[in-house]
Amino acid sequence: MRGLRRAALGAVVTLLATAAQAQAPGRAAIASPHAEATAAARLILEQGGNAFDAAIAVSAALAVVEPYGSGLGGGGFFLLREAGETPRYRFLDARERAPGAATADMYLKDGKLSPSLSINGPLAAAIPGLPQALADLANAHGKLPLKDSLAPAIRLANEGFAVDRVYRDRAQMRLAALREDAQSARLFLRDNQVPALGTLIRQPELAATLQQLAAHGRDGFYRGQMAQRLVAGVRQAGGIWSLDDLASYRSVWREPLRFTLADQRELISSPPPSAGGVALAQSLAMLQRLPWQSAEPVQRSHYVLEVLRRAYRDRGLLGDPDYVSNPINKLLARSYLTGLTDGIDVYQATPSSALPPAPAWREGDHTTHFAVIDAEGNALAATLSVNLPFGAAFTVAGTGVVLNNEMDDFAADPGGSNSYGLAGSQANAVAAGKRPLSSMSPSFIESPTQFASFGTPGGSRIPSMVLLSMMGFLQGQPVQDWPATARYHHQYLPDVVEHEPGAFSAAEQAQLEARGYRLKDLGRSYGNQQVLYWNKQAGSVEAASDPRGVGQALVLP
């Protein structure tokens, strides 16, 4: 992991603004997981667009070059900062919704869960939210017409992009499923094999779909000929979408989760149906009561693991706020968080079995994330997803749209276990029109002197990754270190510490095991963080892209 930190030096760009301005950075910055997406955002900013126009361009470009991570067949969360003397924060929930014909037992066969039904093929697909979100962003906050912001992605889909190592890795993970669908195999494989590095992937059907969205706004996707084609393709292959499901889909503007931290800092993060914002607020609040900054490495890891254990225990209580009542006030009450912190043994791990029981869950971990800030101080952080790599591995013929498999994020069997063998949650049970719970956590931390943006793909590990990056920020570490930091994770159940290779030395592992932890080396790195930092006092703007990926961070001159 030390090599990652050195590699990160090439992924960060720092430029000073001409003057220190408390209200505007004076420069724009972008951090995205793909150079083509960063280039699309830069083009839109140079054409006079703001951060929100640039976000549309990035989202659409990622739909082209990262079909394994996001796309028009998926959804996501958008956290917005509107510049002003007093910034305004908004949260756009474009999470997918269960079809109207969905039922709580739709993935059971003979009373038992059949995991493949919620993973592969159109029955696994919820109604997409990304096309609606792009139209909403343009209508509510954009300076440019939607067609201008979508133009770079349309050109990219027509002209093609080159296969890189990340594409090959994700395609290999889902090779069998991609082979099962003729359209997906035609578009994303070559001779039924993972394409070689540098292979050009062209998607003219997706370009035409983007053109419809550009010309007609949300109705170009959710109504008319495009909607008919989507529904016909889904139903012919065994799915349950209807024209009404598409026509009635709406993204939702929600109030962001806001939580006061020390030193005039405030966490602005994702509310339900994200469980991530609550977990981050709880974790940061508990850490504030612990001497983590002065602790030696093993002791610091102990504190982090114990606050994560407690925060993750509570997430099973959350669900779609349009369907369930979320006890956020209770979970973020200072007295409650004090009690959680006081229950932490300074030297020994707390067995998860010793805590009050709660349902646990897991979700697909191959989403995507980006962040952008413009010269005026408007900013947006977004985490987008189709769930597993290439979603349901099903592409609707004639559209180029790869469908998500977000239905697997529901507790498919709330009375027993889901496809990961974890206890189900009634709050996250399948229901018609409902949004599944998610860990996606685009987040800001802001104070009178600083602004920072955080986020990453990674499924259930998202909050732990973001927390570790935020700790780097709170310690004053260089921006390039935030996404490069070695990662470890605890999510209450299973009661195990997952970690990247090299996250702990052999001596540190022995010390943690002596404290009662069970460690599991995942044998691979995970996550792909994109971060921004605006030092209002110094008048500097910085951006950094995770060295694990192939992204690009850029500060515009």
Catalytic residues: 367
Mutual angle of helices 204-216 and 224-236, in 10-degree steps: 140
Instruction: Specify whether the CB–CB gap between 30 and 58 falls below 8 A.
Output: yes
Residue 254 pairs with which residues in a beta bridge?
Answer: 91
Q: Where are the alpha helices (DSSP H) in 160-254?
A: 165-173, 175-180, 182-188, 204-216, 219-222, 224-236, 243-247
Contacts of 350 (CB under 8 A, 6+ apart): 306, 309, 343, 344
Taking alpha carbons only, the member of 288, 510, 238 closest to residue 392 is 238
What distance lies between CA 81 and its chain's CA centroid? 18
Q: What torsion do the CA atoms of 113, 118, 119, 121 make, to the nearest 10 degrees?
A: 130
3-state secondary structure of 287: helix
Contacts of 217 (CB under 8 A, 6+ apart): 135, 138, 139, 146
DSSP class of residue 18 equals S
Q: What is the DSSP track for 39-73?
A: HHHHHHHHTT--HHHHHHHHHHHHHHH-TTT--TT
Taking alpha carbons only, the member of 270, 274, 242 closest to residue 258 is 270
Taking alpha carbons only, the member of 154, 153, 187 closest to residue 171 is 187
DSSP class of residue 422 equals P
Taking alpha carbons only, the member of 265, 260, 255, 269 closest to residue 439 is 269
Distance CA 231, CA 238 (A): 11
Residue 252 pairs with which residues in a beta bridge?
Answer: 93
3-state secondary structure of 116: helix
Instruction: Specify whether the CB–CB gap between 555 and 372 falls below 8 A.
Output: no
Instruction: Specify whether the CB–CB gap between 71 and 130 falls below 8 A.
Output: yes
Distance CA 539, CA 535 (A): 6
Contacts of 333 (CB under 8 A, 6+ apart): none
Contacts of 86 (CB under 8 A, 6+ apart): none
